[in-house]
Amino acid sequence: MRCDVWWARPAVATDRLLAMLDDIERERYDNYRMEIDKLRFLTGRTLLRLVAGRHLGMEPEEVRLDASCYGCGKPHGKPRAVAPGAPEMSISHSGSRVVLAAVAGAPVGVDVEVIRGAEVAELARITFSPTERSAFDTLPANEQQGAFFTYWARKEAVVKATGKGMSIVMSKLTLSAHDAPPAVLASDSSEVDPAHVRMADLGPGHDYRASVAVFGDEPLEVAEQEADDLITALG
């Protein structure tokens, strides 16, 4: 399975990029209070349209997106391109990085996290399985911050691949150690079968952690590329 991963930094809000947003997306964009949140959202929606359009042979403006939540129907769910043959896609952003993962015909989830100040010991208690907490608690204090965000990015990638996101209880999943290749070792969630999860860590840059998860049986091949020039070229 090939997974294409596209990286971008928050783009300038040009007239063309803003015009791509539909009415619901424009309302979400306008409701963000901080400018960086607006630009990350806009860049994510641009990436979704750009990558889907390249796959489908369409201009980005022609790509219609649907982010309806699987549970409530509100537009905060996993976005998808509404077109026959569109790739499965997942989007994430944190700090100054926006990432999109796209796979043909297989569920995918991606997550990027900037390593930041947080009460990671308490968060680990809530989101880690007992096995993970035992391993995490043995780490030196100066390693726990980075390790936590490695676990978190991997777990969020997996739950996003289900299409149900954070409604999946993270503590029901047991992943490999933060310094081992990513894998789901055990799952008490019916939505996640460890035998059918393929994972890879990504290269988001210093002070970030990122991971991608794909549900399928074939070996996973990941191709990472920068998208800033492609977005800039849209004008």
As a whole number of angstroms, the distance between CA 15 and CA 121 comes to 44
pLDDT value of residue 190:
96
Mean pLDDT on 133-153: 95
CA diameter of the chain: 52
pLDDT value of residue 95:
96
**Domain segments of the chain: what residues?**
2-234
As a whole number of angstroms, the distance between CA 19 and CA 27 comes to 12
pLDDT value of residue 235:
80
> In the block, which residue shows the tokens 């309302």?
27
The CATH code for residues 2-234 is 3.90.470.20
pLDDT value of residue 180:
97
CB distance 5 to 223 below 8 Å: yes
For residue 214, the surrounding DSSP H or E stretch is: strand 208-215
pLDDT digits (tens, 9 = 90+) for 48-98: 999 999 999 999 999 999 999 888 888 888 999 999 999 999 999 999 999
